[in-house]
Chains A and B, each alone.
Chain A
Amino acid sequence: MITAKAAAKQYRGRDNTVVHALNPLDLVIEPGDRVGIIGESGSGKSTLVRLLLGLETPSAGSILYQDGEVSQLSGDRLRQFRRDVQLVGQDTTSSFDPLRSLRDAVRRPALEILGLTVAEADAAVDEVLASLAVDPELSSRRPSQVSGGQRQRFAIARALIVSPRILICDESVSALDVSVQGAVLNEFKDFAERSGAGIVFVSHGVPATAFLSDRLVVMHGGDVVEQGDVSQVVNRPKHPYTARLMGAYRKLSADESSAA
């Protein structure tokens, strides 16, 4: 569905230095896939997300959506792309219009992308909120009047209402409290199982990413340093960077420190 073919991105910094944000990368994402992309800040994972969504054009190679260059889509093809590929970002405060109700925000893609009537869209909003176990009473509130965890659920509802076939989660739980993270991760997992959609889960947190993914891609300094089956990458890392990363988590986790 989305294919990256040797896609790379360079920026020209000040003083004409070239910053290699992302070195050539191949990646295929189909509905049903669960791909976790791990990397620290500056590893190139955010650049990759922007490329996958067509928000930026690759400097080399291509990002294809059904054989069409993503950043060149227009008209019906673009509508189809928006329907198929949705994003849940990290900073939910700034992604909502502060003066409109949350219901309004969730309803909008149903009106604009699916072309539903207001009554149909409202029914769809209720349905998606119910599937996420969100109190429908909250939907009349404004973004600033609910907790961060609730707001994130509305961001998810806004993405899920168009029944995307691929959901891209960019640091979607990083800003949430641990107690809320778990619930939101469960919701992503439920959605993927229920709908058969694909998930691209991008995060610097390994445990949450590993929980949601079948396949892990480890990025470092703009390169993919390792990718493979989740248990292989976590338990038998090949690249020194991955090994260091997993070692750091082991150090902080229960089993290891009690053994030590």
Chain B
Amino acid sequence: MVTEQDVWKALEQVYDPEIPELSVVDLGMILSVDVAPDGKAVKVVFTPTFAACPAIPVIKEDIAAKIRELLPVESVTVEVSYDQPWNSNRITERGRQILKQRGFAPPPHVTAEIELEVLHTVPCPYCGSTNTELQTPFGPTLCRAIHYCHNCHQSFEQFKPVM
């Protein structure tokens, strides 16, 4: 019989359409997983990284499709919720490692509102130097900012801190 753990495992194979390898679990997008007592119906609630993320409908479909593909369930419901809105601290340690490997600086842990200061001196994902500066907080997608490393002279992207 399908368990909640099975569903979480399946969700680890649902990836961000922009950054393959980075799953919706790594991103901290999943708010809850419920399995009916008979194991035949599954409900997943997730929260988007940004309200305007164009990938929301794609992720919603991908979650349902992956669960149907991997698990013997009769129905899958996927809901979007903002009850516990996403923030960048929700990204898992594994998620941060994957971001780094893909050349993105992971967001720092934030405890207060974002100010410009936390967006400077972000460690460069290529050489590790903190001799870097923010070029613009608006990058190729809403969740990414553009920085420049003065040590290795390369531009790099950061997954933006959001609080």
Q: Determine if chain A interacts with chain B.
A: no
Binding site for B on A (CB under 8 A): none
